[in-house]
Chains A and B, each alone.
Chain A
């Protein structure tokens, strides 16, 4: 028999070892590369989501179908109609009776009615011209937008010296409003940062939730446990590959936002990556925690969708503004890491490196990261039960 070389002198060490960690990372990376489903979640899904949100879904209100009831086509009334027709915000249909407009409203072919009454001209010259505006209010937000656009258009017309007497001479108060941070009033500006959050949550949470549970199901973890490996090494081995995969997802979404949808990045790229990295760790920690608690891929996947993805969608300020949400909802949203990340990202993209926003949110994220990792470490002691 061959003499045995005892290379096991260092086998009783209680700490972690770099060699083992490196080996676990290599193993995990090979698995990622060979498993089409991780690639799909990490790279195809972000691209799909950004194209979907970018091109198909938009919260902007544009080309609102509008009926203009012109009961008496006098020159002034026609000029008002012209102002609506020229606007980008409206697609105007001219009708001559209110009845006709209401029919169109009922069959949903228009979203608003502007009625210039028969005596519009006369009323205008006597100082108070009534214009009836009716807006479809099913979607209240959209309704308010439309109302705002109509008022702006009418206001613009009133300020034109067309009538002469209504304008500058009387010296009325004029509002000069300006949109800050989103000058173009483009919803992509706030959707893209939100999308980054959504994608990070998915890649971070879902990937790790599935892979750890998979190892429990296949029994590979059991074999791994009966080696000198440290539970922390297994966790690090699981985290690192998905961390980088998540960063690639971030690059994809951030570049798509910048170059496809022209969202400005006013803060520094470095801060963006650093904060995203931190959030990614929180998401990974959450995924690992769910995964090592349930030890079942299906259940883990469900929980990540319910407890991470949906809150990231609805409770983060990504789509629905948190400031106008009820106090209880706002409180609940504080329990989910996504809201902190959304605040930071919207700031970095649209306002710049505003430390008073970045620092408190990052502290919250760091705390969450620590909680998830300690919980996971507690759950993943090298025991089966």
Chain B
């Protein structure tokens, strides 16, 4: 190992400020007077919601931007004056992985090895290590474009590691990747730190990942909110974290919806069949009217709790919270228990030799929030498209609102709303123009049209953004606008394909509050997601892997299928990984047995 005794720190920045000009020629600070130092051989996490400045910081460290003011030193070099000295010593994986999709795995590795000037004789050993670490050894001759999302991400990582960098910069490495791949990536990162002494700086908007870092830097709106170990951040919420039992007639999500945004409550999220809340410090819990009459027990705080306290402290009213009224007919779904609105039976979809959806069956009842959970490529979107009548099924029975949308489109289409994965909005049209277009597309006119547009603007908090172009909106707003457009014609059933992908934790909380409200108004919601914790917001769900349904039922039932590693109630993620691994194991057995 090369000794760098003269370098006390791997990264050191002082008063770092970065400015950009937005679409309307307004200057804004992406980073504002940031001073951080990072020591050798640890995992540091840059944590924050979208637009916090995480990516800007990492790009500055990689020498891709010139700072507006302040200095940043990496491995003892000033990045502004010696960018190439830094660039030859760090590994950097941008959000899109930076792979050439029409090159094979090996060709991608070779390119980066050549660029870093790695000698041929040392390569084979290095490649062997990397391929073993990333489990890609069987795929060296496959085109990168043909790899799954998780495999691409691991190849991206391997490419940054061919030169054994001193510092590894990873920009949101786990976005859009399934839980299994996420866990594998973290294992690789730990191995690198432990065995090769590589320092890792990564950004993430997943708060559960923050707990896996040695040190965290909390960014919000370009400023450092706090730095410290995850346990230090968690400790901010000492004595403020509670678990509340859900009283009988309510569903956990209904209780959560009532608590979120209530006075004295900083955060309320679902935790299995309970609701987990964080209270603000200056408001003793006994005096809080929101929790009166509820059974609650004190629990150990986690990173997310401390983060939310810090964030609410800074953001205050800046972070919107929607507090829907308790539903007038409190248990709407129960009344309609037998009222099936979506029926799927033995559904198959084949593309050539490839079976994308295999023998899938489930029912959705009126007013339910129904989830399709699974990693990328599990067949969730394909199932969705068949339900919406966009794709014909290869075989099986399919009923949405009593009809097969493929055959009886015109009438039934009025009853469904669909939000596609990429939010199909018109980027060049303003918020208002998008709403008007979709209203007209659904045949709304005059006063009715105006009424619905006004409703959409208020319901989704879009009033302040009427004139912004669709493409300029931040992720959370795009998603709101997409939902508003899909709800223009008051559909009975709303299909949401990965609505929270690429949306930060704050926006995701808002999103689920809205979904709750809609469900309580009697709208049936079918949603796909790869965020395991979001499964808790569903009344019922199915877990899909490789086109098949591996488990279905209420979140509690599914969690019950797995045994927790830590003991106690397993999380949805643990349950998911358990279910998938058990399935893959049997699938492997079948493969091994087949030739005999």
Contacts and interface: CB of A to CB of B under 8 A. Distances in A.
A12 B85 contact: yes
A309 B125 CA distance: 50
Given A19-B117, A27-B111, A385-B20, A11 B100 contact: no
B521 interface: no
Contact of B116 (A222, A228, A382, A384): A228
A23 interface: yes
Contacts of B169: 226
Interface in B104-127: 107, 110-112, 114-119, 122, 125
Nearest to A384: B64
A224 B95 contact: no
Nearest to A215: B100
A126 interface: no
Given A11-B117, A20-B115, A23-B115, A224 B98 contact: yes
Interface string A200-234: 00000000000000000011101111111110000
A7 B118 contact: yes
B59 interface: yes
Contacts of B59: 222, 384
Given A220-B99, A384-B65, A20 B87 contact: no
B102 A222 contact: no
Contacts of A229: 115
Contacts of B116: 8, 11, 227-228
B410 interface: no
Interface in A208-267: 218-220, 222-230
B456 interface: no
B415 interface: no
Contacts of B65: 383-385
Interface string B153-170: 000100110011000010
A384 B46 CA distance: 21
A34 interface: yes
B64 A227 contact: no
Contacts of B20: 385
B98 A31 contact: no
A5 interface: yes
A226 B85 CA distance: 10
Nearest to A28: B100
A2 interface: yes
B63 interface: yes
Contacts of A224: 98, 115
Interface string B83-94: 111011111111
Interface in B64-90: 64-66, 83-85, 87-90
A108 interface: no
A79 interface: no
Contacts of A62: none
Contact of B64 (A19, A26, A383): A383
Contacts, number: 124
Contact of A228 (B87, B101, B164): B87
B196 interface: yes
B177 interface: no
A382 B118 contact: no
A332 interface: no
Given A11-B117, A23-B110, A1 B102 contact: no
A20 B115 CA distance: 5
Contact of A227 (B110, B112, B195): B112
Given A1-B196, A19-B114, A224-B115, A11 B64 contact: no
Given A229-B115, A385-B65, A30 B88 contact: no
B1 to A, nearest CB: 6
A56 interface: no
Contacts of A384: 59, 64-65
Given A20-B115, A225-B87, A30 B98 contact: no
A226 B2 contact: no
B168 to A, nearest CB: 11
Contacts of A8: 88-89, 116-117, 163
A226 B119 CA distance: 19
A144 interface: no
A1 B59 CA distance: 31
Contacts of B312: none
B88 A228 contact: yes
B373 interface: no
A11 B98 CA distance: 21
B2 A35 contact: no
Contacts of B160: 223
A226 B64 contact: yes
Interface residues of B, number: 51
A277 B164 CA distance: 41
How many A residues are at the interface, by size bracket? 35 or more
A133 B119 CA distance: 82
A303 B254 CA distance: 55
Nearest to B102: A34
Nearest to B85: A12
B88 A12 contact: yes
A10 B112 CA distance: 16
A222 B94 contact: yes
Interface string A1-37: 1101111101110100101101110110011001100
A17 B84 CA distance: 14
A20 B84 contact: no
B131 interface: no
A10 B98 contact: no
A226 B117 contact: no
Contact of B103 (A1, A4, A27): A27
Nearest to A233: B115
Contacts of A24: 111, 115
Given A20-B114, A224-B98, A382 B87 contact: yes
Contacts of B102: 30-31, 34-35
B530 to A, nearest CB: 21
A6 B115 contact: no
Nearest to B103: A30
Contacts of A5: 119, 122
A23 B196 CA distance: 27
Contacts of A34: 102, 143
Interface string B1-23: 11000000000000000001000
Interface in B40-59: 59
B62 interface: yes
Given A30-B103, A31-B102, A17 B117 contact: yes
Contacts of B103: 27, 30-31
Contact of A222 (B83, B98, B111): B98
A226 B114 contact: no
Interface string B400-422: 00000000000000000000000
Interface of B: 1-2, 20, 59, 62-66, 83-85, 87-103, 107, 110-112, 114-119, 122, 125, 129, 143, 156, 159-160, 163-164, 169, 195-196
30 contacts: A2-B125, A4-B164, A4-B196, A7-B117, A7-B118, A7-B119, A8-B88, A11-B117, A12-B88, A20-B117, A22-B114, A23-B110, A23-B111, A27-B107, A30-B103, A31-B100, A31-B102, A35-B102, A223-B159, A226-B63, A226-B64, A227-B115, A227-B163, A228-B87, A228-B115, A229-B115, A382-B83, A382-B84, A384-B59, A385-B65
Given A223-B98, A382-B63, 20 more contacts: A6-B2, A7-B118, A8-B163, A11-B89, A12-B84, A12-B88, A17-B117, A19-B114, A27-B103, A30-B102, A30-B103, A30-B107, A35-B102, A219-B95, A222-B92, A223-B94, A223-B156, A224-B98, A224-B115, A225-B62
| 8 A-B pairs closest in CB distance | A223-B98, A23-B114, A219-B96, A226-B92, A228-B88, A11-B88, A227-B115, A34-B102
